[in-house]
Structure 1
């Protein structure tokens, strides 16, 4: 059981005949794997497995352990290692590394750094061709996210990410472009760059939506792009649902509006944390106070960043936990003058409680594994309901924050896309009832009119997939699924694709709509040593 082959197989439960079997993780082929059978058959299968991934370093390691040594496969393995670990091309010329490799195999064909660079380029082009082939076989429509950055030396870069649900109903996110973007970064220049990329990747006629932040250049870019695609009759309903605004960006603008006139208690907490972190002696004294107050000092204090509202929430949350330690520090350290009063601590707790739902929403929609579009409406309705509740509270500082945030929220609400309301209708736990409840909260006396508009758009959208609306009627008339169930919505529509073939096709296109551009931004977060400034 110490063989490297077991990393590629999954053990199966014993059958009625008592024979132990295992299954290939790649293709599902089963083999007997009793100890008396050895692992020879398992090794031979891995060498010929039809679904073997040649980029899987584990596969290559397995092959290099066989008796025959393939110099080409070693080179592929080394190229993959350079890319995986961000190694410089000159690593292949390091004297110590060459000595180790030649010790392992005297006839090893070593390469130069220029050859290593060319090998990496070849691997990139190979992977690009593979991805283009994958996209050509996708039967659903493709949604895009795009973002621009300026590097620390003022070079511009563009990242374009494709999102789709593949033929096995798995949500996919693929970066198709990460390239230099020369100035100017105005609407027409962005349009020309995106249009060239769409032609290169041959997906002009397969688009459903594009998600961008609220920069003015993006608005004009989308107008140019939509007009261009409509000339080719490439968009559903002439692009009525084409432009999606980044929800994370909008929530950030809404909360930042509320934090403009933040309470003085928050300022005192910020200064208290600065004081504690001002020297090692102060840190130790604070930890002693925390220990005497029976608090876990390992939780630590967080300093906020003015441009990130959620860091302010995390700062308050960490400081409130150490409330007794700060109060103790005030008694033992005469130089500490910024400890909040009991009333100010209560206000800080109220502010923290008020910001918590927005922090949870931001974490939900900003994960690297982004959520399906059906989660958008529950998030937004939760945020809006929280703002309305605070307006009825007795805390004047919170009411002032909420009032400014509601004004900003309602400004952007008119620009949210109706397609995201359709997405929650396609969730069998919510259907139409939840959208009706949201519209009553959001539109007050005008909710019925807005609901009629939404239903007409829904019927028109369904007509693009099937002229008959019977599937939609049947789906909406069936009882809802219990909302407490943790439902995998993609599995639901995969299981019902034969009952509702047209509606499930529409669900595949809609549910993969990214509601934020975080998927693009996260690509930069994973690049070591690449300093960027968002523009």
Structure 2
């Protein structure tokens, strides 16, 4: 096309031409096939398909996202792979399983080398579980500081634990796992819950390890587990109120019709339904605290539901609601301490001393208070606290002293 280039016509001609120009979108074939990499070298824009790397990526996806091995045999997934590259060599779930085991062995060797190279010691938490099918399992986790002074955590084992689950049997199992990792000479401490078999477990394991101070500081009792025991003891004082709140939440969540009736009551008393009711796990006290917090928020809705629904008979009385309010306020300190102890991305040994001290002072204060109900509850909890924390841990006191925020002042 011919355009007038005279200046009096302006640049409108060129603008209209640029919108319809055919050659503008035409690129050289070499530009589409080649590109310059970060090093300034010219290479193919699309690298050659690597079948081994493709298999490795699929295996990593299976492990990372907990996908079933059969995932690789899904028709739709295979169609996607073939669409992306017709040269893709598809493989079976058995091959995927074999590849996962290969990746495990590679990563295990890498972790063994890391554990053996660190200059410091390793701390181990361990615990046992019983599955729904009554099979026993034991876990082993390593906490350590690497060569760059970063706090690290690695799950070493989650292994089947055949009966008997005695202290001797668990000591033999853990020691065999430590030997497998080659770290039996680098252990500093082990953190366990308060199961009866653990004392025997520790005494048997100590004899086979090279420990600091002849193992005086080897056994560390789980702080979160002790707090759980202390608070569960205190909740026995208000067991009836706890059961009523728990049953009230269960009732409202029991069916869609009940939930709708409860939401109608929430709307009637002008509360927000976005907060939601929280069901607790009886063995985890912090979930009970969260349940109390949510129940107190919906207190008026529960009271209205009691009037409007004759089948709902588990609503706490006014006296019980008053107790729950006091408990919730009282337990908030314990909840904050539990959250602090449960941290995994920061060291917790240095904060143990101040938080245990906070708990002791709170219980002492309530034991001397004028509120008879809280006083009885605090006395029960104090008895359980003294069972495990009658004396402060010396090694934990040293950790507090080394924290520049506390030094000797807190310990004194």
- Normalising by structure 2, report the TM-score: 0.83
Measure the CA separation in 2 of the matches of 1:361 and 1:104. Answer: 52
In structure 1, list runs of 5 or more residues that go unmatched.
1-38, 46-63, 437-535
**Match status 1:393 vs 2:369:** yes
Question: Matches of 1:415 and 1:218 in 2, distance apart?
Answer: 20
Aligned pair 1:345/2:325, yes or no? Answer: no
CA distance in 2, matches of 1:322, 1:362: 25
How far residue 141 of structure 1 moved from its aligned partner, in angstroms, is: 1.0
Query: Quick check: 1:312 aligned with 2:288?
Result: yes
Cα distance change of structure 1 residues 44 and 206 upon mapping to structure 2, 3 Å threshold = farther
User: Which whole-Å CA distance do the structure 1 matches of 2:138 and 2:337 have between them?
Assistant: 27
Does residue 1:120 correspond to 2:96, yes or no? no
Question: Residue 56 of structure 2 is aligned with which of 76, 88, 92?
Answer: 76
How far the C-alpha of 1:70 sits from its partner, in A, is 1.5
203, 216, 225: which one aligns with 1:240: 216
Tell me the distance in 1 between the aligned counterparts of 2:39 and 2:314: 68
1:450-461 map, 5 Å: none
SS in 2 for 1:106: coil
Asked if structure 2 preserves the Cα contact closer than 8 Å seen for 1:245 and 1:416, the reply is no
Aligned to 1:531: none
Aligned to 1:158: 138
Q: Secondary structure at the match of 2:237?
A: coil
Aligned partner (choices 353, 359, 364) of residue 335 of structure 2? 359
2:411 paired with 1:431: no
When Rg is computed on C-alpha atoms for both structures, the one with the higher figure is 2
| Cross-structure match for 2:8 | none
The residue number in structure 1 matching 2:30 is none
Structure 1 ranges of 4+ moved more than 6 A = none
Distance 1:267 1:143, change over 3 A: closer
Is the CA contact (8 Å cut-off) linking 1:425 and 1:432 kept in structure 2? yes
State the partner residue of 1:418. Answer: 394
- 2:395, 2:88 → 1: CA distance? 58
Match of 2:189 among 209, 213, 227: 209
The counterpart of 1:142, out of the listed 122, 132, 141, is 122
Secondary structure at 1:204's aligned position in 2? Answer: coil
Residue from 289, 303, 325 that aligns with 2:301: 325
181, 187, 202: which one aligns with 2:161: 181
**Most deviating of 255-264 and 160-169:** 255-264
Alignment of 1:478-489 (within 5 A): none
CA contact (8 A) 2:340 2:348 kept: no
Residues in 2 aligned to 1:432 and 1:268: alpha-carbon distance in whole angstroms? 47
Shift of 1:255: 0.8
| Secondary structure class of the residue paired with 1:146 | strand
Q: Secondary structure, in 3 states, of the residue corresponding to 2:370?
A: coil
- Aligned equivalent of 1:258: 234
Alpha-carbon shift at residue 223 of structure 1 (Å): 0.9
SS at match of 1:351: helix
Residue 92 (structure 1) aligned to one of 72, 96, 102? 72
Distance 1:424 1:108, change over 3 A: same
1:210-269 CA-to-partner distances (Å, cap 9, x unmatched) read 11111222211211221222xxxx221111111101111111111111111216544444
Q: Is the 8 A contact 2:151 2:346 kept in 1?
A: no
Q: Which structure is higher in RCO with an 8 Å CA cutoff and minimum separation 6? A: 1
**1:100-154: per-residue Cα shift (whole Å, max 9, x none)?**
3223322222222222211111100000000011111101111111112222223
Indicate how the Cα distance of structure 1 residues 303 and 90 shifts in structure 2: closer, same or farther if over 3 A, else same: closer
RMSD: 2.6
Paired residue secondary structure (1:304) = coil
Paired residues of 1:89 and 1:114 also in contact (CA < 8 A): yes
